[in-house]
Structure 1
Amino acid sequence: MSKENSSISKDVAFGFLPASKGDRIFNLRDLILVQVVIGLSSFGLLTGGYTGNMLDAKHSLAAILFGNAFPMLLIVPITLYFARYGIDTFVGFRSSLGYIGSNIFFFIFLILTLGYISIALFMSGQALAEAANWVGTPAFLSSQTTGAPFFSILLFICAFMVTVGGPVAIQKYTAIAVPAFFVLMFGILAIVIFGKGFTNVADLVPSEPFETSSRSFATALELNIGLGFSWLPYLGQYSRLSKTEGGAFKAGFYSYGIIVCIAALVGALAALVAGSLNPSDWMFSIAGSWGGFIGLILLSVGNVGAAIFLMYSQAVSFKTVFPKKSWMVAMGTTVPTVFLLLSSTFYDAFGSFIAVISFIMAVIGGIVVSDYFFVKRQHISLRDLYDTQGSYTYWKGVNPSSILTVIIGTIVYWVLYNPMTFESSNLFLYTAAGIPTYFVALVTYYCSSKYIFRYEVDMGRSSIQLKEAK
């Protein structure tokens, strides 16, 4: 970055004002580095691990590539919206959800983000506890029962301190975290492929497949689709700081649609080789004694980077909803994560967690893309986005078309697939659930906005233009 663009105004970095040209500090490389740290962390690894537990290497590769890339192709165009206006996710979503509707979605996002932070940090805690065991520390630190929570909470404090510094501090940390994770990823890949032999790895049988291969593939595919859709609410916080719209679009797809597949593929192959979902088990099983120890440290560094990314996303969005609150109060909303770090209960439920995210983000993704590109045709009033009595009030602050779409999208998803019990319909085996739900949401929202709940703002004109027309 050039010196003149190395700083960002506090009202933008720690608040909700639109980013001006001088505040756009991220070029394509910067934005990829900041965004990819979350994808190359625990979420990609765990999703890949679950995939490798159900599928062989060839089918794992197919589920990972399609499951991550295609959902991103469907939602990444919305980055153009955030980059064009320099706005945060929950300011931008007001045009489709309404002012209150966007706030409601924020609280859902807050709960999901707390879960994400806890997963990243608990995986790091497990890794450090395993490393402590290898070093020979006292039982309190080396035990997964006590050591993992202890290290997880300690890393939470470290991540919190970095995030308080805002985008510039985050950018400096990711310059370390991303290379560390790349070394880990390619190191494991090299050991697995060249050490074990590609043919041998390809012949490995998954340890926990379903009763039929089609059921295993559809379930693994849905987990990866869930990971692909899960990036939706995080696209705004950093795309608004992109120097160009094209850079925001490319960085979003390269980060979440392509590079994240590396982590997922590594997770799948490691799970196949080690026969375990625990990344701590992978390291020593694959890389040996010293290699495993180094791998655990690199894993922790990368996951802390993911936690930092998530903390900033949550805090800056909190400032969007409650602009008068201080940055430290906004950061304080991440503190409940500590309760999820006290045991492995939530961490062990990752499969259900990511599937629930899939249905929520598939529905919201269909709504916001439909609204911006097809209903309003990219005609948005920046003034009305910030005027809570403006055009996007709809019905008492909530857009009825969004409510109808959420209801229908939820029914469609749960008819196809139950993310809590993993039970599914026969159609799920051929279509999965997240992608059909996205398209149902997109079409439902468009038809509702145009033919059922018809608001003048959906003609693509702001409240000022409407008043002038009258």
Structure 2
Amino acid sequence: MSERTTAPAASDAPLAGLPLLRGERVWGFWSFTSVNVGLAIATWSFLGGGSIALFVGAKAAIATTVVGNLIGVVLVALTVCLPSAKYGVEQFGALRSVFGRNGVRLLLLLLMPFLLATWNAILAIMFGRALANVCNAVFGTSLREDSPVVIGFCLLALLASWLLLLRGPLSLGRTNLLIAPALAFITALMLVVILREYGPAQLAALEPPDPIGLPLLDYTNALEVSLATGFSWWAIMGNLARLTTTPRAAFWPNLIGLFGASVAAGLVGTLAALAFGSSDPTTWMVPVGGVVLGAISLLFVAVANVTSIMGQTYSGALAIQRLHGSLQRVPWPLMAAVLFVPAGVMVFFPGGIYDLFFRFLALVSLILAPLCAVYFADYHLLRRRVLHLRDLYAADPESRYGFWRGVNPAAFASVAAGALTYLLLLNPVTYANAPVFPYLTASLPAFAVTTAVHVALTRFVVRRLGKGGYA
């Protein structure tokens, strides 16, 4: 460990290696805020808001969106942003203290292909639809949502993201410094346009298009979608927070960007879905805002999706390099290109991905709420916010985080207990639920059960066997 194997954060390759020193970190408070805003005001915020509109009207949507996102974002920021910013380590490097080295590799093999490919595909499809609607409005074309031209635009979004990422994380920060203020303005302008078409009283009176019919159950379903939106940030934010100058600069921008901006965009999506029958801004921005304003707005939404793809893929690259040391020697352009391939395949089926979005959110929460909980319990409750950096990088026999051949079965058992709790309360595919679900949600009990099981197993089994360095 005498040589630093990590390139400076400002270089052209975000290698996963030793912790970043203070001088190698590039994002202060406002830079990280702009990154968060650029990530938040994208496809998933509008579509998430539209999913909430399936169950509740405007008043209940405001309450569930604020509460669910606030809980999810705060728990994610506490869990992944603080340790990565404090120690300058990537999220999945720090997770060795929870799952063990080989446990993290197993987690990545199961987790990253599913999450990274699906999110990037959703963002690319929105990009393609946005450009298609601009063409239809400005040039009088009649491009369908699944036409080859739209698929070509989707692939263009992935190509543009790849080209921008060749410059490393600095390109992400610089792009968002320009885009984030414009996105915030466009979102606010769209809200004004909706309120001009439908006054507050009319919007409040609009009924959701597909409610279950039981007020409490509809409310809890909407809250569950909002919680899933908050927890969905877990997989990428630690690797981005690693580039911040202080833990404070890593934590508070999440409340401005991931919470504030995401809530604002989500509510625009909700109101649009209630008023115009669609949360997809590519379908209503031009009819509502007019050709000029609508086209400009769609272009900014398209660019916002590119910045979100960049942020996800940069974070995913750091995670994938954890699978094996040889991957750190793969040229960064090749690594980034390979990560875009699964999304490039998925964009050839744009309709199915959009139609299953709110079910995908439930699956995300089924996985990420327990993962967030086990990391939270381990770092804050068991280790008292202390990690030993040398042990994060030492070989398993010499590391206090070696566990059993590099795997901590207690962590996986805890996550399984949380996921099972979620499934007993809510089926993420059919949305069939247990009688107590309307009173509890599914994500919050899954988080609580995972936390309790991990603390108990660690204190009464792992620590007593002298594993994990908990003593």
TM norm structure 2: 0.92
SS at match of 1:188: helix
Whole-angstrom distance in 2 between the partners of 1:16 and 1:324:
11
Inter-partner Cα distance in structure 2 for 1:16 and 1:35: 24
Partners of 2:113 and 2:424 in 1: CA distance: 26
Q: 1: CA distance between counterparts of 2:385 and 2:280?
A: 45
Pairing 1:440–2:442 present = no
Deviation at 1:458, TM superposition (A): 4.6
Q: Is 1:356 aligned to 2:325, yes or no? A: no
Q: Which residue of 2 aligns with 1:451?
A: 460
**What is the deviation of 1:12?**
7.6
1:89-139 superposed Cα distances (whole Å, 9 cap, x missing partner): 110111001111111222312320111011011011111112212233655
Q: 1:104 aligns with which of 85, 88, 106?
A: 106
Whether contact under 8 Å (1:160, 1:308) holds in the other structure is yes
Partner of 2:135: 132
1:261 corresponds to: 263
How far has the Cα of 1:197 moved from its partner?
1.4
Matched with 2:378 is 371
Q: Which residue of 2 aligns with 1:466?
A: none
Question: d(CA) in 1 for partners of 2:33 and 2:108?
Answer: 24
How far apart, CA to CA, are the structure 1 residues paired with 2:85 and 2:421? 32
Q: Quick one: which amino acid aligns to residue 128 of structure 2?
A: G
Superposed displacement of residue 195, structure 1: 4.1
Q: Secondary structure at the match of 1:420?
A: coil
2:329 match: secondary structure: coil
Secondary structure of residue in 2 paired with 1:456 = coil
Corresponding residue of 1:197: 199
Deviation at 1:31, TM superposition (A): 0.6
Q: How far apart in 2 are the matches of 1:246 and 1:180?
A: 25
Aligned to 1:387: 394
The answer as to 2:401 corresponding to 1:401 is no
Q: Secondary structure at the match of 1:323?
A: helix
Residue of structure 2 in register with 1:50 after alignment: 51
Structure 1 CA distance for aligned equivalents of residues 200 and 106 of structure 2? 48
The answer to whether the 8 Å contact 2:13/2:168 transfers is no
Matched, 1:241 2:251: no
**Do structure 1's residue 336 and structure 2's residue 332 form an aligned pair?**
no
Following the alignment from structure 1 to structure 2, what is the Cα–Cα distance between the partners of residues 378 and 371?
9
Is the CA contact 1:318–1:330 (under 8 Å) kept in the aligned structure 2? no
Q: Deviations over 1:219-263 (max 9, x none)?
A: 121111111111112121111111111111112333223321111
Deviations 1:18-49 (A, max 9, x none): 11011111111101111221211111111001
Which of 283, 297, 300 aligns to 1:298? It is: 300
CA RMSD, 1 decimal: 1.9
Code of the residue aligned with 1:93 in structure 2: it is L
Secondary structure at the counterpart of residue 37 of structure 1: helix
Counterpart of 1:85 (choices 87, 106, 123) is: 87
Check conservation: 1:370, 1:442, Cα contact below 8 A: yes
User: Partners of 2:197 and 2:121 in 1: how far apart?
Assistant: 33
- Matches of 1:250 and 1:293 in 2, distance apart? 33
Q: Displacement, 1:405?
A: 0.6
- Cα shift readout 1:338-383 (whole Å, capped 9, x = no counterpart): 0011121223211111111101111011100111111122232111
Partner of 2:177: 175
The separation in 2 between residues aligned to 1:239 and 1:155, in whole angstroms, is: 25
| CA spacing shift, 1:32–1:87, aligned 2, 3 Å | same
SS of residue in 1 equivalent to 2:432: coil
Query: How many residues end up aligned between the 2 structures?
Result: 454
Distance, in Å, in 2 between the alignment partners of 1:386 and 1:101 is 14
Residue matched to 1:116:
119
Does residue 319 in structure 1 map to residue 318 in structure 2? no
Amino acid at match of 1:443: A
CA distance in structure 2 between the aligned counterparts of 1:320 and 1:400, rounded to whole angstroms:
19
Is structure 2 residue 14 aligned with structure 1 residue 13? Answer: yes
1:118–1:347: 8 Å Cα contact kept in structure 2? no
Deviation at 1:11, TM superposition (A): 9.1
Once residues 88 and 458 of structure 2 are traced to their aligned partners in structure 1, the CA distance between those partners, rounded to angstroms, is 26
Q: What fraction of aligned residue pairs are identical, expressed as a percent?
A: 27
Structure 2: distance between partners of 1:251 and 1:367: 23
Residues of 2 paired with 1:376 and 1:29: CA distance?
30
Task: Give the secondary structure class of the aligned counterpart of 1:328.
Answer: helix
**Residues 143-186 of structure 1: CA deviation (Å, up to 9, x unaligned):** 54323211111111011100121111111211232123212200
* Structure 2 residue ranges without an equivalent (≥5): 1-7
Residues 65-98 of structure 1, C-alpha deviations (whole Å, 9 max, x = no match): 0110012222321222111110001101110011
Indicate if the aligned counterparts of 2:161 and 2:306 stay in contact, CA closer than 8 A.
Answer: yes
8 Å CA contact 2:14–2:169 kept in 1: the answer is: yes
Cα deviations by residue, 1:385-431 (Å, 9 ceiling, x for unpaired): 11231221212221111121122112100000010111111111111
Distance in 2 between residues matched to 1:256 and 1:418, nearest whole Å: 27
1:222 to 215, 224, 227: 224
TM-score (norm 1): 0.92
Residues 278-331 of structure 1: CA distance to partner in whole angstroms, max 9, x if unpaired? 322221343233322222212111111111111111112223333233312321
Aligned-partner SS, 2:401: helix
Q: Distance in 2 between matches of 1:392 and 1:459?
A: 6
